[in-house]
Chain A
């Protein structure tokens, strides 16, 4: 009996929802078929008084009927809305601009610095820094660049006016390498560290030279045999591979920097042509990146380590140059121009 009744309600209800004309009618139908006082609801409430056998049959039947009627109600409401709405009248012009929210931009050098720090941090490197107004000893002598040596010509230097009380001479650091010494003075190998920072060269500015730019230093030292030229190649290729998101080959060429021995100039395979030769690399297939080498034992000695006990590599190059490469910035002077039309692109 009840089964038949449920079937009838369901059938009637579905038909009624299908032909409903307006929202008032719909509300009435909702009350009649799905309301608290509806017949179906009474049946559901009465389930508890039935025998277990009846319950097993009627319970699911009644619940399914309620679900189907609810669905019919929703689709009827949807249909009514479709018919009764002038969509164009309420349309938004979505092509009009959004209301400006405050939004600033990090300097591209900062972005690159963060990228570099993330890669090296993931490889277990510390991030250190040191003073920009540096003692001559840290900037030159401790790095095996003695006074009156032609190697000093490699870096044009800003000197601070002599102090009256202190015997030390001070320079604006010409590279981040003095931090190598400062770090070694307070740490014992094995360690690995990078030093990003601002450096200064007393040279005239043009599209590719700026007296203030940013560098970073990478220093990894272990006991003898732990950190070699092969390790350096691995770390350098890993870094550039992650930084540029593609496989990069490192090429080392002999060079001379007083603080390393052996010393290298190092290049990476051209990012545009991969060693084939193109206008970006001036047909050479390689891009010049910077200097590197195995830390000179004299530098270890200056930092207070015994000669011959440790072995490591040091490596420095321009964050500025990386930024220019990555973002294809044609003129180095844009970086410190302070022009927001430049900064706001990053």
Chain B
């Protein structure tokens, strides 16, 4: 990178520069080459081992005074060679710890290493011999280019075309440094030899492939790569394979252009870039057999698909150690096509990663020359032909940029010359429009992310650095920013509930089939995830209660009593339109303490009544669940049929309160100390009295009478209250239940009755008459008996 960008900055300084102006830097570290205490030496003298035929004793010079005696078994060791010596203390990448040892009676002060022991390939036939001009005594890692720092940079998804390569990043660093990059622009000279012997290449699918360039190289030798090339790949985290593969990988890292080498002798006829046929099959390089989709783009010859375009080559056309002639593909494929294929076959590769980000179709032309030159240098061979199918060449485009807009968006003054400077450093061609504060900016084709003014404003902004922008308070018109009634109610009610003993829980929005059926909820009304984390989180909740029940139960392991609520959305399928719907619900749970005397139901009901009063939710009616008509409440099947109630206000259903249905109590492990409720929050809000109108207190004293009536069991308090209201009107102004006494076949209810008139004092006789009306009516309607 230093070489390419010409930067003089340290890795830490570079990281900071990139972070502030370009990309996030995820880490900096020294490359862990594992080659400490590994140095270069010269075999000064070689003698036979006194006690072993196959071993020899070498005297290795590693500096003026440092001469080591090392026992060596390699057949190719010879006097005068420059070799790699691992001294005691070295821990080699191949897994060997070097110690001073005695080998058959001769002390050995280290080891002369093979390429494999150094982690540089598979060659274990003999030791690694270096060229004769290498100076001795220096660290091998330094010589091989492994003594390096790694900067891990997160290239943003829109910069895949230009920055996902060493050259691209170097270009960026140079620009940030204020310089143009050091590496030369490509020469224009034609590569094509006189007689073009490459197979013809036809792009049959122009939506999938924008350019297909192929080089034919004959008489190459597949062998190991030179040390420098191996080292560069290793530092970049790739494993060296052979010279051909290594060169294509190296060029991909260097330029960002993926390539693929076919064995040309395994290609039959012309190359076609087309979509796969129905049920077409291919065996890939990694051995996987794939059945292709007609949407997959393939590279095919006359007979069959040779490669999955932009993703992976096929096994049948792969190069092998015997390969003599290759066809090197350097192409540009359509990003979305490659991405769909990668996703469909789960084949994320280095190539697909680059293609799916969209590459510059002009890049193959620039890279072809380097590829040809590297292959002819390091694999011998001759270039015998080239094909370049490029139906619609892409040309640089021009964007008009107004400096006023730059200043408007960034919120800071921006001199024209500074904008020009930043853009020019990034390799954009800038022309001033005479007489105007605007520029015409021509964008090189490697920057498809720069399409409009705002893209350019970003470039200018980041080049200068956003830290230079001073915060500015906006000038705004005055608006009343009051949360909506829904939000205000939710907040006030949540705060009220918390203040009165309910802890707020937040639970997941989904549960599984198991909880759905345990909660007796209809599976078909649920929305379902196509790709859940696991089956237990596959259904979107129809009610808040199943998840709340689980959490409440877990908490009962360490608390005896609790109140809890959750205020969140539930989901259901709109049956008519078949689209998802959501509703906001309030679920409550109350578990009475073990030594509690009152029924838990009534404790929760009392708390709810206080809530209703606080929020002016009036005209509440409680109807036994068993008697209620269809309530429209999804949670109904979860509740006990005769120990639960539907709550409504002014005829509109608000929710449900009660004990669990016995089957749920068993499935979720609760007893009747636990009671639950679920309300529709919009209905609660709608039931509120918006504005309270003052009513003067009773001016004239009430006449008080107590009444105690006994009723058959089936008569509910609600029935009796309704009777009092009907029969007591208009003189009965208020009443209060003060005793319920259950006995034998009936129950007694005792009320305080308050009779009165708004405009004068009521006489005792008038009150007695009204009292008598009530008694008569109760006898008539409910066969009630008056008790003394």
With a CB–CB cut-off of 8 A, which chain A residues contact B335? Answer: 148-150
Report the minimal beta-carbon distance from A147 to chain B, rounded to whole angstroms: 7
Closest 9 CB pairs of A and B: A230-B411, A102-B501, A228-B411, A338-B551, A148-B336, A262-B458, A165-B578, A252-B466, A256-B156
When distances are taken between beta carbons in the complex, the residues of chain B under 8 Å from A132 are 509, 569, 571, 582
Q: Mark B80-122, 1 if CB is under 8 A from A, else 0.
A: 0000000000000000000000000000000000000000000
- Of the candidates B528, B529, B573, the one having the most CB atoms from chain A within 10 angstroms of its own CB is B529
B503 to A344, Cβ gap below 8 A? Answer: yes
Task: Enumerate 11 A-B pairs (CB-CB under 8 Å) in ascending A order.
Answer: A110-B504, A124-B481, A148-B335, A160-B540, A230-B412, A230-B472, A231-B474, A255-B156, A294-B409, A338-B505, A339-B555
Interface residues of B in 542-589 (CB under 8 A from A): 550-551, 554-555, 558-559, 562-565, 568-569, 571, 573, 577-580, 582
* Cβ B476 vs Cβ A190 within 8 A: yes
Of the listed residues B340, B508, B580, the one surrounded by the most CB atoms of chain A closer than 10 A to its CB is B580
Q: Say yes or no: A125-B529 contact (C-beta < 8 A), given A147-B336, A254-B22.
A: no
Q: Which residue of A lies closest to B340 (CB)?
A: A148
Task: Tell me which of A192, A225, A297, A340 contacts B562 (CB under 8 A).
Answer: A340
A277 at the interface (CB under 8 A from B): no
- Bound state CA distance, A279 and B491, in angstroms? 37
Q: Which residues of A contact B21 (CB under 8 A)?
A: 254
**B531 near A198 (CB under 8 angstroms)?**
no
Q: Is A90 an interface residue (CB 8 A)?
A: no
A180 within 8 A of B: no
Residue B532 at the A interface, CB < 8 A?
A: yes
Interface membership of A336, Cβ < 8 A: yes
The proximity string for A residues 247-265 relative to B, scoring 1 for CB distances below 8 Å and 0 otherwise, is 0001111111010011111
Inside 8 A of A231's CB, which chain B residues have their CB? 411, 471-474
Residues in chain B near residue A123, CB distance under 8 A = 481
| B533 in the interface (beta carbon within 8 A) | yes
B484 touches A127 (CB 8 A): yes
* B425 CB, min distance to chain A CBs, angstroms: 15
In the assembled complex, A328 has its CB within 8 A of some CB on chain B: no
Instruction: Give the interface SS of chain B, mostly helix, strand, loop or mixed.
Output: mixed
B residues apposed to A, CB below 8 Å: 19-24, 156-160, 335-337, 339-340, 356-357, 405, 408-412, 452, 454-455, 457-458, 461-462, 466-467, 469-479, 481-484, 487, 491, 494-495, 497-509, 527-533, 540, 550-551, 554-555, 558-559, 562-565, 568-569, 571, 573, 577-580, 582
Q: Are B499 and A228 neighbours in the complex by a CB distance under 8 Å?
A: no
**A262–B481 alpha-carbon span in the complex (Å):** 28
**Residues on A facing B (Cβ under 8 Å):** 101-107, 109-110, 114, 117, 120-127, 129, 131-133, 146-151, 153-154, 158-166, 168, 170, 172, 190, 192, 198, 200, 202, 204, 211-212, 220, 222, 224-231, 233-235, 237, 250-256, 258, 261-265, 294, 296-297, 311, 335-336, 338-341, 343-344
- Closest chain-B Cβ to A286's Cβ sits at a distance in Å of 10
Instruction: Tell whether, in the assembled complex, residue B339 and residue A150 are in contact, meaning their CB atoms are under 8 Å apart.
Output: yes
Residues of the B chain whose Cβ atoms lie less than 8 Å from the Cβ of A339:
554-555
Q: State whether A338 and B507 are in contact (beta carbons under 8 Å apart), knowing that A160-B530, A254-B22 are contacts in the complex.
A: yes
Q: Are A262 and B457 in contact (CB under 8 A)?
A: yes
Given contacts A160-B527, A254-B458, contact A104 B502 (CB under 8 A): yes
B514, chain A: closest CB distance, angstroms: 18
Q: Which B residues are CB-close (under 8 A) to A192?
A: 476, 481
List 14 extra interface pairs beyond A133-B582, A150-B335, CB under 8 A: A103-B501, A105-B503, A110-B494, A131-B580, A148-B337, A148-B340, A158-B531, A163-B580, A166-B577, A170-B579, A198-B569, A253-B19, A262-B409, A341-B558
A104-B501, A105-B503 given; A159·B469 CB < 8 A: no
Contact at A125–B481, with CB atoms within 8 Å? Answer: yes
Contact indicator B408/A224 (Cβ below 8 Å):
yes
Bound Cα distance from A103 to B501, whole angstroms: 4
A234 close to B473 (CB less than 8 A): yes
A168–B20 Cα gap in the complex (Å)? 40
CA distance A338 to B20 in the complex (A): 40
* A131 engages B582 (CB within 8 Å): yes
In the complex with contacts A256-B156, A256-B157, A264-B530 CB distance below 8 A: no
Interface centre among B158, B335, B405, B484, by most A CB within 10 Å? B158
Assuming A105-B498, A224-B408, is B508 touching A165 (CB within 8 A)? Answer: no
Q: Are A202 and B505 CB-contacts (below 8 A) given A149-B336, A229-B466, A340-B564?
A: no
- List the B side residues contacting A154 at CB < 8 Å: 157
Q: Are A335 and B506 in contact (CB under 8 A)?
A: yes
- Asked if residues A253 and B578 are in contact (CB atoms below 8 Å), the reply is no
Closest CB in chain A relative to B264 CB, distance in Å = 33
In the complex formed, the residue of B with least CB distance to A223 is B408
Q: B533 contacts which chain A residues (CB < 8 A)?
A: 202, 204, 211
Chain A residues with CB under 8 Å of B19's CB are 253
The answer to whether B506 and A107 touch across the interface, beta carbons within 8 angstroms, is yes
> Chain A contacts of B408 at CB under 8 A?
224-225, 228, 311
- Which residues does chain A contribute within 8 Å of B157, judged by CB atoms? 149-151, 153-154, 256
Kindly identify which residue among A106, A122, A164, A228 contacts B504, using a CB–CB cutoff of 8 Å.
Answer: A106
| Minimum C-beta distance from B591 to chain A (A) | 11
Instruction: Name the A residues within 8 Å of B24 (CB-CB).
Output: 253, 255, 265
B476 near A198: Cβ-Cβ < 8 Å: no
- The answer to whether A127 and B483 touch across the interface, beta carbons within 8 angstroms, is yes
Contacts of B412 in A (CB 8 A): 228-230
- CB atoms of B409 and A165 under 8 A apart: no
A102–B610 Cα distance when bound, in Å, is 13
Contact A229 B454, beta carbon cutoff 8 Å: no
Q: Is the CB of A262 within 8 A of B578?
A: no
Q: Considering the chains assembled together, what is the distance between the CA atoms of A343 and B550 in angstroms? A: 16
CB distance from B56 to the nearest CB of A (A): 53
Question: Within the complex, what minimum Cβ distance (angstroms) separates B207 from chain A?
Answer: 12
Give every chain B residue within 8 A of A127 (Cβ-Cβ).
483-484, 487
Query: Are B469 and A229 in touch, CB under 8 angstroms?
Result: yes
What's the nearest-Cβ distance from chain A to residue B503, in Å?
5
A263, B527: Cβ atoms closer than 8 Å? no
Given contacts A311-B409, A338-B554, contact A170 B562 (CB under 8 A): no
List the A side residues contacting B503 at CB < 8 Å. 104-105, 340, 343-344
Q: How far is the CA of A296 from the CA of B500 in the complex (A)?
A: 46
Least Cβ distance of B710 to chain A in Å? 35
Task: Check A121 against B336 for contact (C-beta < 8 Å).
Answer: no
Contacts of A261 in B (CB 8 A): 454-455, 457-458
CB contacts (< 8 Å) of B504 on chain A: these are: 104-107, 110, 343
Of residues B20, B498, B562, which shows the largest number of chain A Cβ atoms within 10 Å of its Cβ?
Answer: B498
In the bound complex, how far is the Cα of B243 from the Cα of A19, in angstroms? Answer: 119
B579 near A168 with CB under 8 A, answer yes
User: How far is it, in angstroms, between the C-alpha of A104 and the C-alpha of B528 when the chains are bound?
Assistant: 34
Asked if A256 and B158 sit within 8 Å, CB to CB, the answer is yes
| B residues near A251, Cβ cutoff 8 Å | 466-467
Q: How far is B579's CA from A117's CA once the two chains are assembled, in angstroms?
A: 31
- Whether the Cβ atoms of B495 and A106 lie closer than 8 Å is yes
CB-based contact B530/A161 at 8 Å? yes
In the bound complex, residues from chain A placing their C-beta under 8 Å from that of B577 are: 165-166
Contact residue among A212, A226, A294, A344 (Cβ-Cβ distance under 8 Å from B508) = A212
In the complex, the answer to whether A233 meets B471 with C-beta atoms within 8 Å is yes
Inter-chain CA distance A105–B565, complex, in Å, is: 10
Beta-carbon contact of A253 and B20 below 8 Å? yes
Report Cα–Cα, A127/B490, bound state, in Å: 13
Most buried by B among A172, A250, A344: A172
**Set of chain B residues within 8 Å of A264, measured between Cβ atoms:** 466
Find A148's partner among B339, B470, B528, B558 (CB 8 Å cutoff): B339
* Residue of B408, B475, B478 ringed by the most chain A CB atoms within 10 A: B408
B477 surroundings in chain A (CB, below 8 A) = 190
Q: Which residues of A contact B474 (CB under 8 A)?
A: 220, 222, 226-227, 231, 234-235
Asked if A104 contacts B499 (CB within 8 A), the reply is yes
Q: Could you say which residues of chain A place their CB within 8 Å of the CB of B501? A: 101-104
Pair A297/B471 contact, Cβ less than 8 Å: no
Collect the chain A residues with CB atoms within 8 Å of residue B475's CB: 226
